[in-house]
Amino acid sequence: MNRRVAAVAVLSVGVLVAGCGNGSSSSTPEFSVGSTPPPAVASIPTDSARIDDAVRQLPDLARKMLQSTGVPGMAIAVVHDGKTVYTGGFGVKDNRRPDSSVDADTVFQIASLSKAVSATVVAGRAGTQGIDWTMPVAAGVDSFTLADPYVSTHVTVADMFSHRSGLPDHAGDDLEVIGYDRAEILRRLRYLPLVPLRTEELYTNFGLTAAAQAVANKAGKDWETLSAETIFGPLGMSSSSMRYADYLSRTNRALLHAKVDGKFAPLAQRDADAQAPAGGVSASVNDLAKWMTMVLDDGKYQGRQIVSSDALLAAMTPQMALPSGRADFRPSATGFGFNISSDPSGRTMLNHSGAFTTGAATNYQIVPGMNLGIVVLTNGAPVGAAEAVAKDFTDLAQYGRLTADWFAQFQQLIDPTNAPEGELVGKKPPANAAAAKPLNTYAGTYANQYFGPLTIKADGTKLTLSIGPKNQTYDLSHFDGDTFTFIPRGETANPGTISQVKFTVTGDTSPSVWVEFFDRNKQGTFTRSAP
């Protein structure tokens, strides 16, 4: 998932901005600076008429959002008091095909909304076969090892689902993008440095995946089957799956659309099988409405207890505070796959965003005190559209008006996460650039324990870099002296990112090479292992 986008769902801003959010109807007065904010008390009564009016405004909110952002398609579902009270689809599944309309049965890749779904899978198995939130990951994954022996044996399912294991931010995502499978990524996590256990929230898809794998192994099933048997089957979520192949098999599916140079286009696919528990679910809003109904009813659906109410409550209980970066933000925290925050009304909000740089952005907002939930799925790279529509709706449902321009607020948080990365972004080779050495000086095989081998080949007048089990290959461009560059691709590479490749040279050979794109966790230096 796009780096740090998941945290934006917990936005609760104390400073209110002028104007109303996108898509407000004429019946909803604008909220401007100087207006009196909603009272910060928990006793504001639920007004069913206000909720009904918010539902009526949803189509207008969605259409205006798509029009203003260019996001190709959107699907929405709302549940209230145990019923699905609204589903709708807007825009298109493929913006090259105007006839490919989205509907409530269109299957989307939901990215990190998968984490909350996976939490309910764990809650559904709690109390059986030794499975619970306090179970050590090592009890389910043989030879599970991290950099610290104590953490290796003591880190729990709860620690991984609340991102407090000590693993670095987005640990393992860089291994996935070059083609390693789940088992190998989990094995290589041992080479990453740790911060002290349970001291800091650092978002990790593969930490959570390790915990889910441990649960599946204890249950004696693969994770994908366990999810289907525990949640998807009992809830009748017939279009939902943790397998990418199942998503590809759906005839009514939304394609991913990346955003490049201000325009959305279906440029790439995203196989998230390696991190399926953290980001690999595909589903329709009709299916997710059933899931939200179960969550709101303490784990019951149509009178049947699907998951343990106690284990579910633990998942929705604050575990680690989320940093806001601003003194005027309302407090927020992570649970086990759920984010928890409070609204000025005093009500608890459960939420999470999901995002693929390659072209998905999703959000749900659940308000337990109102027995209300909304899920918004889109097939465009994250720009804040899904979050803004969901937040506009919960404002209208609670207060009958918008309390902020939510799209602008989310843009402020999301735009920096989409920015190109690399020290040389926007720079050209110097006019007096030093010449490169003969290309055979750099050619050879290099390696480190985390990424494995990296091969540099000299072919005539150019160099190529290849890495990973799928031999992902990049053309290198000379920049200056022994420094080259390439354009990364894949889920961890924002559009416009440029990576340096710096060779050290001793005599007529290069003993090591540093690759900027692979150095996020200080693992970017590779040592020559063969000519």
Is pLDDT at 427 greater than 50 in this prediction? yes
CB atoms closer than 10 angstroms to residue 522: 11
Residue 179 zone, left/alpha/beta (φ > 0; ψ -120 to 50; rest): left
Any residues with CB less than 8 A from the CB of 325 and at least 6 apart, and which? none
Examine the pLDDT at 432 and tell me if it is beyond 90: yes
Beta bridge partners, 509, equal: 506
User: Is pLDDT of 151 > 60?
Assistant: yes
pLDDT value at 33 more than 50: no
pLDDT of 21: 32
How confident is the model at residue 32, as a pLDDT? Answer: 41
What average pLDDT score do residues 103-123 get?
98
- Domains in the chain, please, with CATH? 5-129+220-418 (3.40.710.10), 439-530 (2.40.128.600)
Model pLDDT, residue 507: 92
Structure tokens at 308: 């343990």
> In percent, how much of the chain has pLDDT > 70?
91
Length of the chain (residues): 531
Q: Mean pLDDT across the stretch 64-93?
A: 98
Nearest partner of 113 among 340, 313, 349, 364, judged by Cα? 364
Q: What is the largest CA-CA distance in the chain?
A: 79
In this predicted structure, the answer to whether residue 260 has a pLDDT above a threshold of 60 is yes
Query: For residues 516 and 13, what is the distance between their CA atoms, to the nearest angstrom?
Result: 35
Residue 85 makes CB contacts below 8 A (sequence gap 6+) with 51, 55, 78, 79
What gap in Å lies between CA 412 and CA 422, rounded to an integer?
Answer: 21
pLDDT band at 345, cuts 50/70/90? confident
Interatomic CA distance for residues 352 and 9, integer angstroms? 5
| 328 band by pLDDT with thresholds 50, 70 and 90 | low
| Cα–Cα distance, 13 to 147 (Å, whole number) | 38
The predicted structure's pLDDT at residue 95: 97
Q: What is the 3-state secondary structure (H, E, C) of 423-453?
A: CCCCCCCCCCCCCCCCHHHCCEEEEECCCEE
Q: What angle do CA 184, 190, 191 make, to 5 degrees?
A: 100
pLDDT at 36: 52
196-251 pLDDT tens trace: 999 999 999 999 999 999 999 999 999 999 999 999 999 999 999 999 999 999 99
Tell me the CA end-to-end span of the chain in Å, nearest whole number: 37
* Contact in structure between 445 and 455 (CB atoms under 8 Å): yes
pLDDT at 388 over 80: yes
| The predicted structure's pLDDT at residue 20 | 31
- 135 close to 126: Cβ distance less than 8 angstroms: no
Q: Which run of H or of E encompasses 476?
A: strand 472-480
Query: What local confidence, expressed as pLDDT, does residue 433 receive?
Result: 96
| 3-state SS track over 105-126 | CCEEECHHHHHHHHHHHHHHHC
For the beta carbon of residue 304, count every other beta carbon within 10 angstroms.
10
Assessment of whether the complete model's pTM goes beyond 0.75: yes
Residue 330 pLDDT level (bands cut at 50, 70, 90): confident
Residue 22's pLDDT is 33
Residue 315 pLDDT class (50, 70, 90 cuts): very high
Phi, psi of 318 (to 5 degrees): -55, 135
Per-residue pLDDT band at 109 (split at 50, 70, 90): very high
Q: Mean pLDDT across the chain, nearest whole number?
A: 91
pLDDT of 316 over the 90 cut: yes
Q: What is the pLDDT of residue 23?
A: 34
| Cβ 335 vs Cβ 315: under 8 Å | yes
